[in-house]
């Protein structure tokens, strides 16, 4: 994700930091944010020279129009649907005019509560929303979707996935 000098890229829901590290390795000024203290600990231990902070997508510790890009890669399905307008409004607030959002996640129309995953017991909720609803929520926040990719289940892929590229409009 290159941002043409618009500012740094925030990897929101960065988990253990692998994508943040990959972006940095490509020469992108990037930092990671995750709600989970454990994930931030893992990221900091694995990539001690990179910036990782504990935080929420609804209250980013960045100024208005500061980010050249936001990467929300398989992180918003943990967000209850009623919070998504606030999340996307925060994305809009922090993106510089012309800045990009690259969003990827599962899509559908269901709430999941898995009890086992990653080889151990787990407890969390996932909220899958139809892709058109996600596009609509981004639009309501003032972000313009410029590209979309949908992948139906096949082989190892058990659920529909989608990627959206959105942009904060330039100021007139």
Domain carrying residue 79 = 56-167
| 118, pLDDT greater than 70 | no
Residues 76/105, Cβ–Cβ less than 8 Å:
yes
pLDDT of residue 121: 78
pLDDT of residue 111: 86
pLDDT band (50, 70, 90) for residue 127: confident
Q: Looking up tokens 């918003």, which residue turns up?
A: 76
The domain total for the chain is 1
- The structure tokens listed for 116 are 């086992």
Please work out, in degrees rounded to the nearest 5, the angle formed at the alpha carbon of residue 33 by the alpha carbons of 29 and 38.
130
**19: part of which helix (H) or strand (E)?**
helix 18-25
Residues 90/67, Cβ–Cβ less than 8 Å:
no
Q: Is residue 163 part of a domain?
A: yes
Q: Is residue 42 part of a domain?
A: no
Q: CA-based Rg of the chain, rounded to a whole angstrom?
A: 16
Q: Is residue 18 part of a domain?
A: no
Q: Three-state DSSP class for 22?
A: helix
The DSSP symbol for 6 reads S
Burial bucket for residue 172 (CB in 10 Å: 0-12, 13-18, 19+): exposed
Q: Is residue 116 part of a domain?
A: yes
Q: Is residue 162 part of a domain?
A: yes
| 3, pLDDT greater than 70 | no
Q: Domain holding 133: CATH number? A: 3.40.50.150
Q: Is residue 36 part of a domain?
A: no
Q: Is residue 115 part of a domain?
A: yes
Q: Is residue 50 part of a domain?
A: no
* pLDDT 10s digits, 27-65: 999 999 999 999 999 999 999 999 999 999 999 999 999
Distance CA 50, CA 159 (A): 32
């Amino acid at each position: 994700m290159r941002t043409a000098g618009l500012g740094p890229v925030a990897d929101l829901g960065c988990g253990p930091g692998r994508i943040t590290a990959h972006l940095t390795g490509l020469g992108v000024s990037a930092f990671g944010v995750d709600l989970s203290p454990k994930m931030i600990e893992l990221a900091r231990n694995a990539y001690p020279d990179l910036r990782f902070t504990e935080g929420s997508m609804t209250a980013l510790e960045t100024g208005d129009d500061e980010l050249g890009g936001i990467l929300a890669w398989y992180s918003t399905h943990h967000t209850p649907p009623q919070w998504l307008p606030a999340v996307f409004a925060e994305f809009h607030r922090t993106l510089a005019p012309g800045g990009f959002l690259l969003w990827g996640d599962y899509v559908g129309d269901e709430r999941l509560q898995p009890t086992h995953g990653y080889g151990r017991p787990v407890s969390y909720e996932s909220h899958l929303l139809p892709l058109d609803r996600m596009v609509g929520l981004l639009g309501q926040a003032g972000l313009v979707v410029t590209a979309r990719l949908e992948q139906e289940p096949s082989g190892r892929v058990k659920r529909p996935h989608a990627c959206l590229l959105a942009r904060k409009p330039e100021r007139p």
